[in-house]
Amino acid sequence: MKRLVPALILLLLLIGSVFFAQWRLQQTTIPELYEVPDFEFKSHLGNTYTNENFNDKITVANFIFTNCPGICPVMSRKMAVIYEKYETQKDVQFVSFSVDPERDSLQALIEYAENWGVADQRWQFLKTEKEAIETLYENGFKLGGELPRGHSGAFVLIDENGVIRGYYNYEEEESLTLLNEHIDHLKNNL
């Protein structure tokens, strides 16, 4: 009997902490920042990709270029980890926008996708004309920095209605943990 009481207390504490964690996640409020404006780009898969592809899915977006010697490989590696984490979740998708459309041909994007283990349509690499990506980058996603080399290192979370819900620093583990929590929160509220 003396052993049973501590075991029951431990069990109750464990159950309580699980319920508290669930309650905390449900109480999370993620601000609605900006609606992603209309756009039409070409995917590395050859199809047209528009802002309507964000409908009914949680999307993580970033901005890269394939011959980037700096942050792009690190960002893509971290995006690949998140992509793999949600590999069975068809309602979570990933988009990498090329900020160097003059050099990032569709073939270059195909090879880049293959390099990062992209095996399905859940992660697409997009390109368009220079002016269109600059407009979307600055006015749609509200990011700064001269393209291509000065582009942002943010992951951008977009909800199922095409609304930007947050920006997350690829260099900070706490920020990436928060990104995963916010993905889960939005998924649970689809």
The residues spanned by each domain of the chain are 1-30, 32-188
Q: Which residue has the tokens 């947050």?
A: 166
Q: Which residue has the tokens 């095409």?
A: 162
Assess contact for 64 and 148: CB atoms under 8 A.
Answer: no
Given pLDDT bands bounded at 50, 70 and 90, which one contains residue 179? very high
Residue 65 has pLDDT above 60, yes or no: yes
Helices (H), 86-144: 106-115, 130-135
- Residues 72-113 pLDDT 10s: 888 899 999 999 999 999 999 999 999 899 999 999 999 999
Sheet strand arrangement including 48-50: 34-35, 163-169, 154-158, 58-64, 92-98, 123-127, 40-43, 48-50
Q: Note the pTM of the prediction, 2 decimals.
A: 0.82
Architecture (CATH level 2) of domain 32-188: 3-Layer(aba) Sandwich (3.40)
